[in-house]
């Protein structure tokens, strides 16, 4: 895997963007100053609609984009969460070049999530919160934002701030959708809700002690949930859960690493972010057996370097020329091993990782592999334990 630095993408600190990727490889990342877009494989990023003058309708540059999804036909959906100005949900039909308001403009609501239905290009779910006192909101559109139906959210419990996130829509049934209510379980844990009627009613299916990170639907019966837990001043991957009855109930996954992220590769295998050092020694891990076991794919010591980009791009000028030497020294990076035994990358006597699997063994080339490189890059400073 190659490294893409935060400065290239357009953010910094202990905050991570939400990423999405188009079928043509275009990378989208949410930031506090707009939607960042790369059309050259991650070598450079630009801010969507920044060419428009301030105050121009449908300009989404220089504002916080917090909700993002790319639909099954390439439509790009975003929602804003900026303080001190009205927020809205926007749709792009030209791969993120221009955007159109979808009529949810509000001076009090912050839009926090948007998820499209894989089986219905016109169906999307949006969540937000706001008001005085603040309230949670979920809307559904069945006609690409032409009109919106609010969810009653009856029986949904909230944390001190009523923030809910649309986490996933079933890939075979657009009416089955999952909703995270942040901090609703004893203030520090989240609750996961499931709806089988397009958000009209909700059932609490999982209560956890920390934040829910990912909801991944593998098939009609199998659903995975990953969580985070606090370690000192940072959060790391926590317990993971699996449902074998379509998300109606969940059981712990004892064989899972500390999954700080989880997704699927093109073959349907699970790919997750584990602990680079103890206890997993698997910065990226794969399961080919439905999460019964995970095997190491990659560790930070195997970083191959920054992306190979031309001079004049942020990836070359900043990540490569100014930052890579320090990152390489920090993780004792030796490059991909492609099956060789990896030299231990800790100076404190950490044992060597299991044999096999450098970045060339990731099984996710092209856009998917790059997205995982971006995600892991965002974890470089966070995954110390």
Encode the chain (385 residues) as per-residue pLDDT tens digits.
Answer: 889 999 999 998 878 899 999 999 999 999 999 999 999 999 999 999 999 999 999 999 999 999 999 999 999 999 999 999 999 999 999 999 999 999 999 999 999 999 999 999 999 999 999 999 999 999 999 999 999 999 999 999 999 999 999 999 999 999 999 999 999 999 899 999 999 999 999 999 999 999 999 999 999 999 999 999 987 777 889 999 999 999 999 999 988 999 999 999 888 899 999 999 989 999 999 999 989 899 999 999 999 999 999 999 999 999 999 999 999 999 899 887 543 333 344 433 344 433 333 333 443 334 444 444 444 444 433 433 3
pLDDT at residue 67 in the model:
98
Cα–Cα distance, 216 to 337 (Å, whole number): 30
Task: Identify which of 84, 2, 1, 97 has the alpha carbon closest to the alpha carbon of residue 315.
Answer: 2
Angle, alpha carbons 379-384-385 (nearest 5°): 120
149 within 8 A of 116, measured Cβ to Cβ: no
Q: What is the pTM of this model?
A: 0.89
pLDDT at residue 16 in the model:
86
pLDDT at residue 337 in the model:
58
Cα–Cα distance, 175 to 169 (Å, whole number): 8
Instruction: Give exposure, 193-212, as e/b (b: 16+ Cβ within 10 Å).
Output: bbbbebbebbebbbebebbb
- Domain positions in the chain: 216-385
Q: Tell me the sheet residues that pair with 219.
A: none
How many other CB atoms are there within 10 angstroms of residue 145's CB atom? 21
Pairing of strands 109-117, 120-130: antiparallel
What are the backbone dihedrals phi and psi of residue 234, each rounded to the nearest 5 degrees, phi first?
Answer: -125, 170
Distance between alpha carbon 274 and the CA centroid of its chain, in Å? 15
pLDDT at residue 366 in the model:
40
């Amino acid at each position: 895997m190659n490294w893409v630095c935060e400065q290239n993408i357009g953010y910094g600190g202990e905050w991570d963007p939400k990423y999405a990727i188009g079928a043509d490889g275009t990378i989208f990342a949410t930031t506090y100053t707009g939607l960042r877009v790369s059309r050259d494989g991650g070598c450079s990023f630009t801010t969507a609609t920044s060419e428009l003058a301030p105050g121009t309708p449908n300009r989404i540059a220089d504002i916080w984009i917090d909700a993002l999804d790319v639909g099954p036909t390439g439509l790009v959906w975003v929602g804003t969460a900026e303080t001190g100005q009205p927020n809205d949900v926007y749709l792009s039909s030209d791969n993120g070049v221009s955007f159109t308001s979808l009529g949810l403009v509000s001076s009090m609501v912050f839009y926090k999530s948007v998820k499209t239905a894989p089986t219905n290009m016109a169906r999307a779910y949006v969540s937000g919160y706001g008001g005085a006192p603040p309230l949670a909101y979920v809307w559904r559109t069945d006609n690409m934002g032409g009109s919106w139906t609010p969810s009653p959210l009856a029986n949904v419990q909230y944390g001190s701030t009523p923030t809910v996130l649309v986490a996933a829509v079933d890939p075979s049934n657009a009416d089955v959708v999952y909703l995270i209510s942040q901090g609703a379980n004893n203030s520090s844990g989240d609750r996961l809700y499931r709806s089988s009627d397009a958000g009209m009613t909700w059932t609490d299916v999982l209560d956890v002690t920390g934040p829910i990170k990912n909801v991944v639907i593998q098939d009609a019966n199998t659903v995975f949930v990953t969580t985070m837990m606090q370690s000192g001043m940072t959060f790391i991957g926590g317990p993971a859960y699996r449902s074998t009855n379509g998300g109606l109930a969940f059981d712990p996954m004892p064989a899972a690493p500390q999954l700080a992220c989880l997704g699927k590769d093109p073959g349907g295998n699970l790919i997750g972010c584990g602990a680079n050092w103890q206890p997993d020694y698997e910065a990226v891990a794969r399961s080919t057996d439905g999460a019964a076991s995970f095997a190491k794919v990659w560790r930070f010591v195997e970083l191959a370097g920054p992306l190979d980009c031309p001079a004049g791009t942020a990836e070359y000028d900043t990540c490569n020329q100014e930052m890579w030497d320090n990152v390489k020294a920090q993780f004792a990076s030796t490059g991909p091993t492609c099956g060789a035994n990896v030299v231990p990358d800790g100076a404190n006597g950490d044992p060597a990782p299991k044999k096999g699997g450098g970045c060339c063994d990731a099984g996710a080339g092209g856009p998917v592999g790059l997205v995982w490189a971006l995600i892991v890059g965002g974890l470089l400073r966070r995954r110390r334990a």
